[in-house]
Amino acid sequence: MTRSIRSRGRRRRDRRGRGVRGLLYPPTLPAARSRAERFDAIVLDALEPIDERWHAELDRLDIAVDEVPEVTDCDPTTVTWGADIVEDGNIPLARLIPAGVDRAGLPTRARIVLYRRPLENRAHDGGDLSDLVHEVLVEQVANYLGVDPDIIDGPAAPG
């Protein structure tokens, strides 16, 4: 959010003389967390059962969250996404970035990037968002390991 130049120098005053506003909820309650913090918690919850079963295979994989995907093309209707993107109606939900070398010549780890806002917009409620994040993670982990998604989420032990 951008503030005007005039407001930079002023101290914030309490509006209408009601005193300084404080926190609505104590920081220990889940309602006090931001949307991004709640989404991060959903991702960790969805990743936990996958990581328990596939920990050894996933030790060189990072999971990240971005607000929205970066679009370099000016016209979003003509953007085409690669095979490493999980999309819904040409809107990317997640991306698998393979291990490689960065601009400085240093090795990078493979990374799954989940896009928070597109995922939140596709979900009807919190339970739906948890299920959607889990499905996307399963699909991306399966792509990373080169196996069928049913194997990642199935009842059998890896092997």
pLDDT confidence of residue 68: 86
pLDDT confidence of residue 12: 54
pLDDT tens for the chain, residues 1 to 159: 444 444 444 455 556 666 656 666 666 666 656 888 889 999 999 999 999 999 999 999 999 999 988 766 556 566 566 666 777 777 889 999 999 988 899 999 999 999 999 999 998 887 899 999 999 999 999 999 999 999 998 775 444
pLDDT confidence of residue 5: 44
Read off the pTM: 0.72
Report the C-alpha gap between 159 and 151 in whole angstroms.
10
Q: Which domains does the chain have, with CATH numbers?
A: 45-153 (3.30.2010.20)
Phi/psi class of residue 128: alpha, beta or left (left: φ > 0; alpha: ψ in -120 to 50)? Answer: alpha
Residue type, 62: D
Asked if residue 158 lies in contact with residue 55, where contact means CB atoms within 8 angstroms, the answer is: no
User: Which tens digit of pLDDT belongs to each residue from 79-111?
Assistant: 566 666 777 777 889 999 999 988 899 999 999
- C-alpha distances in angstroms, 46 versus 40, 74, 81, 153? 10, 34, 25, 11
Question: E-assigned strands of the chain?
Answer: 61-66, 85-88, 91-97, 100-101, 107-108, 110-115
Asked if residue 119 lies in contact with residue 136, where contact means CB atoms within 8 angstroms, the answer is: yes
pLDDT confidence of residue 7: 45
- C-alpha distances in angstroms, 2 versus 10, 106, 117, 144, 149? 15, 36, 21, 40, 43
